[in-house]
Amino acid sequence: MPSPALAPSQARALAALLDRMFPAGANHPGAGEIGATAYIAAALDGPYRGDAVTYRALLDVLDGEAGGAFADAPQSRQLALITALEAGTLPGLPANQDGAVFDLVWRHLREGLFGDPVHGGNRDFRGWSAIGFPGAQTGYGQAAQALDHPIDLPPVSVATQRARLASPPWTQPGGPRPLGADVVIVGGGAVGGFLAHALVRRGVRVVILEAGPARSGRERAMDEVLSTAFRNEGGAAKFNQEIPTWRTGAGMRATRARRSQGLETALGGNSVAWGAVAMRFYEQDFRVRSATIARYGEGRIPAGSTLADWPLAYADLAPFYTEAEQLLGVSGQDGANPFEPPRDTAYAMPALRSSGLGLLFGQAARKEGYHPFPLPAAIATTAYRGRSACTYCSFCSRFGCHVDAKASAQNTVLPEAMATGRLRIATNARVDQIVTDESGRAVGVCYRDADGDTHMVQGGTIVLATNTFENVRLLLLNKDRRHARGLGNETGQVGRHYITRQQPSVYGVFDELRFNRFIGPTAQAMAIADLSSDHFDHSQLDFILGGRVAAFNQYLPVEASGVLPPDVPRWGEAWRAFFTHAYNRTAMLFIDPEILPYDTNAIDLDPDTVDDLGRPVARITFDIHDNERRLMGYLQTRAARILEHMGASRIWCRPHLTGAISTHDVGGTRMGVDVAGSVVDSFGQVHDTPGLMVLGGSTFVSLPAVNPALSILALALRAGAHIAGASRA
């Protein structure tokens, strides 16, 4: 048998460390009794084996600094050493700058305390019982979401649901290796799937090359540990080996953005993990620069911002919005959002039901003169095209749906496209080369299969349909004699105009009120758009644009245990006491601010960090600017007022800068008419590389206060109609 990751003395120090970080109380067990110590020890021999060296070094330092054995040191000495660890000043740990080692241990501790028992922690559901979380229940009735409704169900582990959750809803792709097609799509996520659907039903032959494995779309349902952005099991095949680096300014060394949002690398991409909010952009969003100048003057555009109008109008995209909504099955309330752009059809289904939290938010928002509405969502509220209605379980955003109520590529477009016989899908096909001919035209791609062998697929049109970072990286990595700076980059625009959503949420604790916020999908939210875009007068304000404010559900314990007011420490008795009391009493008002593009924010190739194949990873240079700081401060103040009306006893705000990689990452291959200021046209055709197209969020010109997914899919459908029309011409 292999040696355990920790020696006996190290295991003893770990147990003492964790019991100091989450100590036992009068009515609650400590970390060891809950099983967190056993969880981490086992994980260091398994999924976290790469962190074992860090743990061994830490535990040896703790023993050394304690004068022999940390476990035997006086409590005051133990507390002092943990304080130094958190501050990044513990001697002997050079990698502990900014408390990085503490952050690692703290995250693992929270998983051991509040993750599903199937992973070895949360023994006998003791962590869940301490906070009142019932675990992997398959659904809840409406009464359970009423304010202060008692939940008396015994906790359930995901292990008891495996047979139900794993049932595949469609046949996995297979067959011989593809050699060519009319269109070759790199990326088997939502963009690739919707584009393929648009093409094959018009008679076009398509090959999708997906870097990750095939899957049903129900994997990891109801398992927070595996689905969390920290573990990101869905990105294991590729993304976790190429996580971009991040720095806030040029001249700085970038570091891995490991604790940011993870992206999925598997068939269906993030359509399996997405939160399913499905809103159209507002009409003004497509002419944001000119509309701002027309109302306030050109001087209101912040210095250094590259804000621009889109090269298409809402009317150009409207029919494809309708098509995307019908394919997804979008639930919503017609006319509820007074700012909603014109629609030619009603929503496919009624909106998700309102929770007690949503109703309370709506009442408070109306007191401020706002117009609350339920968010449209690609989640079935009635039976729809063979999919079941939502059961309002606790696991939606970042999870597969155990009843296929949430739309994904797997349960919408891919089965229909495959049934035509004109779509081939190759999984575990990792593309690393875009092949061009002597004229500089894209004519194929080369990919590595699961065995490391290289194959080429030829195509009349090559489409990059991956995430923003990989779209940019593939263009920059691929050069030929006509494209010395990378494909699409003859004018130096690839990687520029990058924007990532920030998440400056506002939280409130209600000492006498329980929300059961763990019930229901994230998209089951009440929101206001009064503060979005230019829906309010900015004449006397010191910023432009705005943001959406919404009261979200889905509050799961591992993530929630890290949501703390600034005066509550991240470990010790005060942390335990706060979280066990506040878990079911905390409301979050989520803010989606409009972040402007700037000439200082960009994506390029990191000269110091490579992926598992030895290729440079994407490097993010991103920081927020004064316009966004002022905007977010304004939005947080208004959100706090709503929480006050709701009755919160304690209110606090997240920082304005919340990091890179948000799944609302856009820009880098901006669309436009001017070749000197963009990479692709409005259909995604790369200006300087015939035969090559780029689709996805990377082509966005701006980032409105609306989730980008529906617009991304509408643009893919529009591109599909254009490609098919051109092929018939």
Model confidence at 73: pLDDT above 90: yes
Average pLDDT over the chain reads 95
Predicted confidence band at 625 (pLDDT cuts at 50, 70, 90)? very high
* Conformational region of residue 88, where left means phi above 0, alpha means psi within -120 to 50, and beta covers everything else: left
Helix axes 314-328, 190-200, angle to 10 degrees: 100
In this prediction, residue 168 carries a pLDDT of: 63
Q: Which residue has the tokens 């976290």?
A: 48
In this prediction, residue 96 carries a pLDDT of: 67
**pLDDT tens-digit series, residues 494-546:** 999 999 999 999 999 999 999 999 999 999 999 999 999 999 999 999 999 99
Q: Which residue has the higher pLDDT, 486 or 165?
A: 486
What average pLDDT does this structure show over 660-677? 95
Model confidence at 164: pLDDT above 80: no
Cα separation, 701 vs 720, whole angstroms: 20
**pLDDT tens-digit series, residues 201-238:** 999 999 999 999 999 888 778 999 998 877 888 898 99
Model confidence at 26: pLDDT above 90: no
Closest-CA residue to 174 (of 213, 145, 204, 125): 213
Model confidence at 337: pLDDT above 50: yes
**pLDDT tens-digit series, residues 352-362:** 999 999 999 99
Torsion 714-716-720-722 (CA) sign: positive
C-alpha gyration radius of the chain: 25
What average pLDDT does this structure show over 614-633? 98
**pLDDT tens-digit series, residues 271-290:** 999 999 999 999 999 999 99
Q: Which of the residue ranges 256-260, 441-445, 648-652 would you say has the lowest mean pLDDT?
A: 256-260
Closest-CA residue to 704 (of 407, 282, 385, 308): 282
Q: Are 526 and 358 in contact (CB under 8 A)?
A: yes
Cα separation, 197 vs 205, whole angstroms: 11
Q: Quickly list DSSP for 627-659.
A: HHHHHHHHHHHHHHHHHHHHT-SEEEE--S---
Predicted confidence band at 245 (pLDDT cuts at 50, 70, 90)? very high
What average pLDDT does this structure show over 657-677? 94
Predicted confidence band at 169 (pLDDT cuts at 50, 70, 90)? low
What average pLDDT does this structure show over 661-689? 96
**pLDDT tens-digit series, residues 372-400:** 999 999 999 999 999 999 999 999 999 99
**pLDDT tens-digit series, residues 469-495:** 999 999 999 999 999 999 999 999 999
**pLDDT tens-digit series, residues 292-306:** 999 999 999 999 999
In this prediction, residue 1 carries a pLDDT of: 39
Residue 424 DSSP code: E
What average pLDDT does this structure show over 322-340? 98
Predicted confidence band at 161 (pLDDT cuts at 50, 70, 90)? confident
Predicted confidence band at 179 (pLDDT cuts at 50, 70, 90)? confident
In this prediction, residue 227 carries a pLDDT of: 87
In this prediction, residue 175 carries a pLDDT of: 73
In this prediction, residue 219 carries a pLDDT of: 79
Q: Which residue has the higher pLDDT, 94 or 250?
A: 250
What average pLDDT does this structure show over 346-370? 98
Q: Quickly list DSSP for 351-375.
A: PPPPPHHHHHHHHHHHHTT---EEP
**pLDDT tens-digit series, residues 418-440:** 999 999 999 999 999 999 999 99
What is the percent of the chain where pLDDT is above 90?
89
In this prediction, residue 237 carries a pLDDT of: 92
In this prediction, residue 538 carries a pLDDT of: 98
CB neighbours of 195 closer than 8 A, spacing ≥ 6? 183, 185, 463, 465, 695, 716, 717, 719, 720
Q: How far is CA 21 from the centre of its chain?
A: 29
Model confidence at 663: pLDDT above 70: yes
Q: Which residues pair with 551 in a beta bridge?
A: 526, 589
What is the percent of the chain where pLDDT is above 70?
97
546 exposed, middle or buried (CB, 10 Å; 0-12, 13-18, 19+)? buried
Model confidence at 3: pLDDT above 90: no
CB neighbours of 540 closer than 8 A, spacing ≥ 6? none
For the chain, list the domains and their CATH numbers. 8-130 (no CATH), 187-242+263-273+399-491+669-728 (3.50.50.60), 283-388+500-653 (no CATH)
Q: How far is CA 555 from the centre of its chain?
A: 15
Model confidence at 98: pLDDT above 90: no
Query: Cα dist. 530→337, 365, 371, 546 in Å?
Result: 9, 10, 7, 9
Cα separation, 630 vs 484, whole angstroms: 41
Token code pair at residue 109: 């501790």
In this prediction, residue 176 carries a pLDDT of: 77
